Every structure is written in structure tokens, then in C-alpha cells.
Structure 1
Amino acid sequence: MADNDFDVIVVGAGGAGLAAASEATAQGARVLLLEAGARAGGSTRLSGGVFWASNTSLQRRAGIEDNPDDQFHYYMTVNQYKVEPALVRRYCDLSGPTFEWLVGMGASSPLENLYVSGVDKLPRGHRAERHGEDIADALEGSLSGRSVDLATHTRVEGLVMRDGRCAGVRVGGEEVTAGAVIIASGGFGNNRRLWAELYPSAAKQGALAWYIGADECRGDGIEMARGIGADIAGLNRGLLLMTPGFAEDLEPYLPPWLMHVNHEGRRFIDEATEYSVLSEVLGEQTAGECFAIFDEAARAEAKAHPAPNWAADRLAGFAANGKLKSAATLAELAEELGIRAGALEATAEHYSEDARAGVDSQYFKAATHLRPVETGPFYGARIRPAVVCWTGTGLRIDAEARVLGLDNRPIPALFAAGETTGGFAGPCYAGGGASVGSAVIFGRVAGGNAARLSMH
């Protein structure tokens, strides 16, 4: 590149990178935006397009009173304070204003798309009309007419350090310099080698595990920053969705009418619980797995919504090819799956009594989701948290999106945002849309700070 002098270089053009470029250019910075894929948007474009926010115009229109203090308390509590409070506080304070910023750019989120996306009682999930496409398009559109060069099919090879500060990147065998660099290259979902080191919960699932995000998310940004002394935060964090291994189809929701038991033959949760919580609780069971048990009557009545693979005809097919185990009796099914037979029989008996009474006396699942388990043949699917939705281990940053070194000091002129970072994601995915929200919020913080630093 003949002209290799930019104010800010942004590595990665997903939600975080686009937000960073938008904010930096709005402040007059000249930006180089580098994207390894064919187009901008990254995993944000592939997402459901939910933004987790409080105190928004959409909430007020719906008559919902909410505020960042309550949002912060909820997030910290549900994650047992195993997150960086400063990052969570910044997120909550900026979530409302950042949502309005997106809406002002054209990301549409109609009133009917406001819903409870976490395990609290307040609707904080704001779903864009065209899902992730809306958010990515709005952010990319905001760059029109601004001083930004977007280079796709361009993978950064490393960071350039001069006099102790990050001064640019290496790309295509050349050095391109800037006053500040922002790493927003996504997570490492498409890098199984890094799973073993940074996300062992995913790695231990072996061949069953697969990743649903952008192919370009290989952990490049994490590794290049570690190479210059950056620290890592949030070991073994991310979101694993549960799967019966029927097919590589993304189905985050399991039918609530199933009866889940562990190897000991006992139920351990309300089967209709939010998938993010169910996945975390499942990890505490023997071998980190459970079994979805149901009978022939339930199979015959099964509908495609909310999980098409659990429709009656699909289940019959999976039973025929062995992906779904079946047996004439519960004792035989228990033997095949490795469950305590007597305990499974007792659990099914109690569950069936509750189903007929319309009251779940153990876990208080809604009566509409109760189905007796008493009419053979019986079916059992092994459920494991093995679909890697996103990774939450990454570069340690502070609330200003500055990358921190192993000495806990900011690496001068180096910022990061989005899935490349760690410390915000806790053991529980507390609200659907928090990952997209984190990318956009901290991308914007990083872009503003990088622009001010580089143009000072």
C-alpha cells in the first residue's frame, strides 16, 4: 500500500470493528478497516440480531421501567460476580444510548420484537427486524462518505511495535502504520487448537462439537496480541448450546415437554429453563451430559416448533438409524444409555403422576409441558453442550477498551472489542443479545478512544 499512514487501523469488520470505525470516523479519524472475509459483518451479521439493553425508547413505549443499575445487579448476580465489574458497569451504562445510536442509523427494532431474553423478568432483548443483517447493514451504512478504507479478503499477520507502543500492523508482507490499532477480529470458535487451551469445555466434546459463527474467527487477534505481551481474561468462557447430535442443524431450544435425567436416573432441572442456564447446569452433571427421555405417545404428538428435528416423523427416522435410542421398556433403555434402571423407572413413574395431575411437584415446570412417560416403546437421546455459539475467553481490557499487558498496564495505543476480548462473559449467558451488545458498545468505546489518542 502506497499510503500506509492512517489515524486508526481496525482489525476485523464485524459488529465491533464496524462500530469502532463508525465512531472513529465520526470524530474525524482516517481509518483502515481490515477484514479477512469476503464482506463486512462477521458473526454479528449471522446472529439473531438481538441487542440486550436497558432504559430504551422501546421499553418506555411498552410501559416498562428499567435502568442500568438494575441491569448491572442482575448481570453480576446471575454470574456470581465471576466477571469484571468495570466492564459490566460500562456495558449497562452505555447499552441504552448505544441502542438508540443503532436505531438512529436505521437498525429497526419494532415494539413486538422486545422480549425477555435472559432469566430475569424484564424484557431487555431488542431484536432487529432483519436480525443480524439489520445491525451489520446499519453500521456499515454509517461509514458511507467517511474517511475509511475497507479491505476485504485481508488477513492481518501481526502487530508492529515501536518504542513500546502499537504502531500498526503487518499485512501482505508490509507494515502499515497508524496512531492506534483496534483488534476486533472475533473469537476463536473456528480454531480447535485454541479450544484445547482456552475453552476446554468445548474441546472435551471431541468430534461432536461444531461451531456456528463466522469462519474467519480463528483467534488471530488474540494470538498476535499475546505475542506482544497482552494478558488473557475469562478462561473457559463462552456459550455452548445443547445438542442430541441428530444433525448439524442449529436448534438452540430443546422441546420443553422432554424429561431430562442424569446418569443417576434423576431429573435435575425444569426442562423448559432458558437454554443458557440449562447448558451451565448440565455441565455439573455426571460426565457433563444428560438424557432426554420420552415415550411413544409423546413422540407421536411431537410438533416441529420450536425444534424441527424433534417433530414426530424426524424422531421416527432418527430412531430407525440409531441416532435416537429406543427400547421396549425403560429398564432396557436405561441399560443401553448407562442410566440407573431402577431410578429411571421411579423418576418416570413420579413424573407421569405429576403430568396427569397437572403439577410438577419437583421442578415446577408449567403443566402445558408435562407429558407422561409410560407408553412403550421408550426413547432416549444423549444431550451434550457441544455447539460452540461464541467464545468468551480473550484479551483482557479495561473499561476504556485498552488492552492490558501481563503487568496489568495498558499496552500503549492498542485497543480491543467484541469476541476478541474476555472478562465480560461469565459462566451464565445472562441475556440473549449481550454478545452483540458487547461488540457494538465496546467497539464504539474503542473507536472513540483510539481516534482521540491518534489525533491528539
Structure 2
Amino acid sequence: MNMRRMKSVALLIAIFMITGLLFGCADNAGNDGEDNGNITTKQYDVVVLGAGAAGLAAAIEAAEGGASVALLEKLPVTGGSTILSGGIVYGTGSKLHEAAGVEDSVDDLVSYWTERADGKNDPAYLQFVAERSGETIDWLVDMGVEFGAPAPTGISPVARAVTSPEHGGGIIRPMEEYAKSKNVEILLQTEATELLKDENGAVSGVKAVDKDGNELIVESKAVVIATGGFDRSVELVKEYAPQADGHLSFAGQGNEGDGLLMAKEMGANVLSNGGVIGFRAVEGEVAYTTDVCMLMWMPYLYVNKDGNRFVNESIDYPIFYEELIKQPEQVGYLIFDGNTYMEALDKAVEKGSAFKAATLEELAVAAGIDAEQFQATVDNYNEMIANGEDTQFGKNVTGHPAIAKGDFYAVKVIPAILGTMTGIETNLDAEVLDAAGEPIKGLYAAGEVANGNFYNKVYPASGTSIQMCLTFGRVAGSNAASLAE
């Protein structure tokens, strides 16, 4: 991971959010509308809400289908959670996979996703995305997105994940430029507040508010909701994902569940198994790309407040999260010593995110860990390293040094989330369904706001969410354009 580049992306977004700089806004929409005092009315064939991966994909496909398209984004920049991500897309059968000689199949990918959801996701959705996953990656490449060679993510050894060297921005920026080249009108700092419907109950546009508080009516023949998850909504997390209540979110700032709520007001059904994209963070850090927060990835000994080891420290991050939240006070301590010292440790101590001591006993007292059990755990861990086998959790300990040399450090690690796994129910045409399973005419949804069919409780592999966002975003945009003809 290129930490410097990720820091730059995070800083750029922060600057835009603070200063309110715009790369486009409602005033530059280009589709002349009627101005009635502080209310402006505009007309488009298709309106897309949310300019992350799903929204951009929908806007592009709708525009290529011949529709006039407005893309509304309430933040000052496009990208949603994707631009904050590592830029990974999971799939099979793309030209990149073929060139790398990856031995895989759609059926194997579906089997993996099914296994990771304990069979509690919708097989039709898995099959649908898996069959199109390679084509979606090729579509991005044709648009100018660059990827490295496929590599494994999750717990499967199959090399399915392709990663942009520019991370999330390497996906979003080419998509944004391509959307603009197709005359998609991107209205930044423009927040949709309500879906509109006609006398027959079909969706006919949205109400929105621009950065100056002026009301905007956007009339359309179809609306695509692609507003992301609800990580930033305390109320919705408590309602749909209570296990994550109070957990730090590294998702996009706009993930407040507004699209979900607007769809519910239209009668949309919601699917939820209570899952989240579980992650972790060093306490006190607000971005996982800082040098202090990056300490959490080191595969050394983790203990809980009772001094007990509780997980294979090298396990995939969503599984680690599931174990972390079971621990006392939902806290883990990552242990370093003189053999594994890193400069960021001293910064963590200065910030109060880590503890430092000359002995293990003093470290336990400082961190609030049971000292006697902690010493026993370290002794057992060192013995397993000496024997070359982790008989407790099966971690590969080859090359790991014993915890024996002062000074000693304990970094405090807490749960965090990258996204939610609850969504508006849709069919394979990305149409939003009501409680009776009937499509709400003119309303489509894609991405994290509509992922309830895809997961159970534990996220299967990095890049899965972006793949799903892109694939169903494309379907939503194409079908919305067809409806608008």
C-alpha cells in the first residue's frame, strides 16, 4: 500500500470538504430549467443520486443509452467510499485474469461467496454478478483505469482481485472524466431530499437542495439511488446493525442512509441480516492510512484485557473484526518489543494510542491488562515460535521473533467499519421492489444502498463491494435509460 498516496487522497478530500471548493455544481448544470424564485426546476431523462462507483457507473450507462443524465452528489467531490478505498475490484474472467493465467470459474467464485455467507445470500445475485465480473473489469480498463496483476484477497487462494496503483482515486477519476465526456451533468453539493411521484405512483424525479439552501426540482422519467450505506447514521446503525453501534466508520462522509430512507418512504422493502464490513483501527485515529493506524496490520501477538490471545492475527480483516467485538470492552492490544520496534510506536504513545514499558509486567499494568495471564500468554506464544508452529490458531509464525527484548509496547486497537450490508430490495434489473415484491416504476437502486441480497454478516473479500456496485450500477443505468426512451 502506498501510504503517501493514500494520505494525499485523504487530505485532498478533507480540504475540499472544509473549503467547499467545487468541481461542478447545480448552477453549472447545463440543462436549462425554470427559475421560480428560490426554486429551480430542471428536466432530465434519468437522475442518479450519489456519485460513488455505483452512481458513476449508472450515469455512464444511462448516458450511453441515449438518456440525458443528472448526477447529484451532496458532497463537494465525487467518489463516495470508493475513493477512500484501496481501489480493489474482485472478479473472474477478465482479460487481466486471462493474461495472468488465473485458473478460476464463475461457479467457483459463486461457491466462495456462498460459503462466506453461510448460504444465506441470494444465489441468483451471486451468479449474476460473477458472470459479469470480468466484463465489468474490462469495462473499467477500456475507460482508462489501470490495474496491477490479479492477487488473492479474503480467504481464497485464487487470484481474483485487481488493484489500481492509484487506489480508489484510480477508479473514480477515469470514471468521472468519462461521464463528463458523455455529457453527464454532475451537480455537486446538491442533496436529494425527497423522491417525487406522478399521479399513477411512478417515480418522476427528486427534490434537492443546493449548497446555498435553494430548492431544486429535478423532473425525470427514472431515478437511480446509489447513495451508499448508513455508517454515519447512529440511528440506522442501531436499527439495522446494532453490533456496530458506536464503532468508528472509515466509509464516506455522505453515508447517512438518506437514499434508504427516501426509498422506504416510497414503499420500498429493506433486506438486512445485520452485517457490516468489519474492520479495525488504532484508538484515536480518524483515518486508517496514518502511520500510527497502519501499525494494526502487523501480524504480531494480540491479547485482550484478560491477557488472553483471541485470534489468528493474520486472518482476513472482516473475520478479525468478528472476534474483536467478542472481547471484553471490544478492545485488543497489539504487542511490540525491541525486536519489532517501529518509529510510529513512539508517536502512538505520545498520542495516547499505545503504552510503553521496560518490562511486560509494567506494560500490562499501564495498559490495564491482567498481568499474570499476559505473562503466561507471552510465554506460550514464544514457545510456539521456538517450535515453529502455532498450535492455538494456526498462524504461520516462521520468521517471527520472540517477545523478549525491551522496551515493550501495547497498541490499543478497536473495532471499525468500512460499510454496511443492509439494502433496498431490488430484482436483477435493479428495479426497487415494494413489500409485495413488485417493482416501483421508475425507481432503481445499486451499490451499498441495495446490497441486502448479497451478503450475510461477514464481508467475503476486498473488492467484492466495488464489483457489486459497478455491475449493478451499470444495470440500473442501462435499464433506467431504456425506461426513459
Q: Deviations over 1:67-122 (max 9, x none)?
A: 111011001102212323332222111111111111111111133xx211221001
Match of 1:417 in 2: 446
- The one-letter amino acid paired with 1:177 is E
Write the distance in 2 (CA, Å) between the matches of 1:160 and 1:351: 61
User: Which deviates further from its counterpart, 397-406 or 315-324?
Assistant: 315-324
Shift of 1:286: 3.9
User: Which deviates further from its counterpart, 322-331 or 36-45?
Assistant: 322-331
Q: TM-score, normalised by structure 2?
A: 0.82
Kindly indicate whether residue 83 of structure 2 is the aligned counterpart of residue 42 of structure 1: no
Q: Deviations over 1:258-315 (max 9, x none)?
A: 2112344332322122222211222233443332234x323xx32xxxxxxxx2x332
Write the distance in 2 (CA, Å) between the matches of 1:320 and 1:182: 47
Q: 2:435 aligns with which of 406, 409, 413?
A: 406
Kindly indicate whether residue 233 of structure 2 is the aligned counterpart of residue 191 of structure 1: yes
- Paired residues for 1:262-341 under 5 Å: 262-294=304-336, 296-298=337-339, 301-302=340-341, 311=342, 313-319=343-349, 322-327=352-357, 329-331=359-361, 333-334=363-364, 337=367, 339-341=369-371
Write the distance in 1 (CA, Å) between the matches of 2:344 and 2:162: 32
SS of residue in 1 equivalent to 2:296: coil
Q: 2:469 aligns with which of 430, 433, 439?
A: 439
SS of residue in 1 equivalent to 2:44: strand
**Contact residue 326 and residue 378 of structure 1 kept, 8 A:** yes
- The one-letter amino acid paired with 1:140 is E
Shift of 1:158: 0.3
Shift of 1:213: 3.2
Q: 1:241 aligns with which of 279, 291, 295?
A: 279
Match of 1:306 in 2: none
Kindly indicate whether residue 413 of structure 2 is the aligned counterpart of residue 360 of structure 1: no
> Residues 255 and 16 (structure 1 numbering): CA distance in 2 closer, same or farther, change over 3 Å?
closer
Kindly indicate whether residue 57 of structure 2 is the aligned counterpart of residue 19 of structure 1: yes
**RMSD of aligned alpha carbons:** 2.5
Shift of 1:414: 0.8
> Residues 41 and 331 (structure 1 numbering): CA distance in 2 closer, same or farther, change over 3 Å?
closer
Write the distance in 2 (CA, Å) between the matches of 1:65 and 1:421: 31
> Residues 106 and 450 (structure 1 numbering): CA distance in 2 closer, same or farther, change over 3 Å?
same
SS of residue in 2 equivalent to 1:121: coil
**Contact residue 349 and residue 374 of structure 1 kept, 8 A:** no
Match of 1:154 in 2: 190
Shift of 1:326: 4.0
Aligned length, in residue pairs? 436
**Contact residue 49 and residue 226 of structure 2 kept, 8 A:** yes
Kindly indicate whether residue 222 of structure 2 is the aligned counterpart of residue 180 of structure 1: yes
User: Which deviates further from its counterpart, 32-41 or 435-444?
Assistant: 32-41
Write the distance in 2 (CA, Å) between the matches of 1:320 and 1:17: 41
Shift of 1:228: 1.7
- The one-letter amino acid paired with 2:203 is C
**Contact residue 257 and residue 371 of structure 1 kept, 8 A:** no
Shift of 1:403: 1.4
Write the distance in 2 (CA, Å) between the matches of 1:14 and 1:324: 35
Q: Deviations over 1:37-83 (max 9, x none)?
A: 22333322332211111112111111112111101100110221232
SS of residue in 2 equivalent to 1:243: strand
**Contact residue 421 and residue 457 of structure 2 kept, 8 A:** no
Write the distance in 2 (CA, Å) between the matches of 1:4 and 1:247: 42
- The one-letter amino acid paired with 1:167 is S
Q: 2:381 aligns with which of 351, 359, 371?
A: 351
Write the distance in 2 (CA, Å) between the matches of 1:84 and 1:420: 16
Match of 2:172 in 1: 136
Unmatched tracts of structure 1, length 5 or more: 303-310
> Residues 63 and 393 (structure 1 numbering): CA distance in 2 closer, same or farther, change over 3 Å?
same
Kindly indicate whether residue 242 of structure 2 is the aligned counterpart of residue 220 of structure 1: no
- The one-letter amino acid paired with 1:418 is G
SS of residue in 2 equivalent to 1:394: strand
Match of 2:159 in 1: 123
- The one-letter amino acid paired with 1:180 is A
Write the distance in 1 (CA, Å) between the matches of 2:139 and 2:344: 44
SS of residue in 2 equivalent to 1:381: strand
Kindly indicate whether residue 95 of structure 2 is the aligned counterpart of residue 57 of structure 1: yes
Q: 2:208 aligns with which of 136, 149, 171?
A: 171
Match of 1:450 in 2: 480
**Contact residue 296 and residue 413 of structure 2 kept, 8 A:** no
**Contact residue 44 and residue 219 of structure 2 kept, 8 A:** yes
Write the distance in 2 (CA, Å) between the matches of 1:448 and 1:289: 46
Shift of 1:183: 0.5
**Contact residue 14 and residue 43 of structure 1 kept, 8 A:** yes
User: Which deviates further from its counterpart, 188-197 or 223-232?
Assistant: 188-197
> Residues 245 and 174 (structure 1 numbering): CA distance in 2 closer, same or farther, change over 3 Å?
closer
> Residues 174 and 106 (structure 1 numbering): CA distance in 2 closer, same or farther, change over 3 Å?
closer
Kindly indicate whether residue 133 of structure 2 is the aligned counterpart of residue 95 of structure 1: yes
User: Which deviates further from its counterpart, 360-369 or 13-22?
Assistant: 360-369
Q: TM-score, normalised by structure 1?
A: 0.87
> Residues 289 and 141 (structure 1 numbering): CA distance in 2 closer, same or farther, change over 3 Å?
same
User: Which deviates further from its counterpart, 231-240 or 46-55?
Assistant: 231-240
- The one-letter amino acid paired with 1:414 is L
SS of residue in 2 equivalent to 1:115: coil
> Residues 56 and 347 (structure 1 numbering): CA distance in 2 closer, same or farther, change over 3 Å?
same
**Contact residue 345 and residue 409 of structure 2 kept, 8 A:** no
Identity among equivalent positions (%) equals: 33
- The one-letter amino acid paired with 1:356 is A
Unmatched tracts of structure 2, length 5 or more: 1-32, 35-40, 210-214
Match of 2:456 in 1: 426
- The one-letter amino acid paired with 1:146 is K
**Contact residue 278 and residue 317 of structure 2 kept, 8 A:** no
Shift of 1:327: 4.8
Write the distance in 1 (CA, Å) between the matches of 2:245 and 2:142: 41
SS of residue in 1 equivalent to 2:171: helix
> Residues 352 and 410 (structure 1 numbering): CA distance in 2 closer, same or farther, change over 3 Å?
same
**Contact residue 46 and residue 481 of structure 2 kept, 8 A:** yes
Q: Deviations over 1:298-348 (max 9, x none)?
A: 3xx32xxxxxxxx2x332343456432345554554455554444332221
> Residues 200 and 68 (structure 1 numbering): CA distance in 2 closer, same or farther, change over 3 Å?
same
